[in-house]
Amino acid sequence: MSARTVLHEADIARALTRIAHEILESNRGAEGIVLLGIPTRGVTLADRLGPIIADIAQAEIPVGSLDITMFRDDLAQHPTRAPKRTQIPEGGIDGKTIVLVDDVLFSGRSIRAALDAIQSVGRPAAVRLAILVDRGHRELPIRPDFVGKNIPSSRTERVNVRLKELDGAEEVTIES
């Protein structure tokens, strides 16, 4: 398999800073924003995005995680998934603007599961989607609100996001 790097460390940092500005602009400030990362890399990205938004807006941004394992539609095919921890920030999500954060958007099925998972936790005023990489090939009518990079790919290619905290490297690659 050959892999090519499409985003380097500086590119990822720039993308997160741009997404932070777009979230604040879209929300007309930081009030009511709650970031929820989807395990695994979405949680790490949300943990990075929160302080960036807080620094720009000079306001505290609650960050949590949302496990979608039991809401997935592929449990029959992949029953060995270990559930991760859902951590809702103090103050909950009712009436808030939730920004779901994930690394790669592909078919849209993970995001559909996340929407179902949110309903089991509370009733937000709005749900937005922030994605580091949008690779296309949607199977469901789901569109991100904030995108770090659109990377056209074929269905046979694999997009890999590596983050220092989890992988010891910082890059996005495409394998054919």
What is the pLDDT tens value at each position of the chain, 176 positions in all? 689 999 999 999 999 999 999 999 999 999 999 999 999 999 999 999 999 999 999 999 999 999 999 898 876 676 666 778 899 999 999 999 999 999 999 999 999 999 999 999 999 999 999 999 999 999 999 999 999 999 989 999 999 999 999 999 999 999 98
Domain-by-domain residue ranges, the chain? Answer: 3-175
103 CB neighbour count, 10 Å cutoff: 23
Locate 153 and state its tokens.
């790919």
Q: Quick one: the chain helix, strand, coil %, rounded to 5? A: 30, 25, 45
Considering the segment(s) 3-175 as one domain, its CATH architecture is 3-Layer(aba) Sandwich (3.40)
Q: Which residue has the tokens 């694999």?
A: 158
The closest of 8, 7, 9, 4 to 174, measured between CA atoms, is 4
**Rounded Cα gap, residues 143 and 51, in angstroms:** 25
SS3 call for 152: coil
pLDDT at 160 (0 to 100): 96
Contact 110, 72 (CB under 8 A): yes
Beta bridge partners of 100: 36, 129
Q: Does the predicted model carry a pTM greater than 0.85? A: yes
Strand order in the sheet with 33-37: 63-65, 33-37, 97-105, 126-134, 146-150
Residue pLDDT, tens place only, 68-95: 998 988 766 766 667 788 999 999 999 9
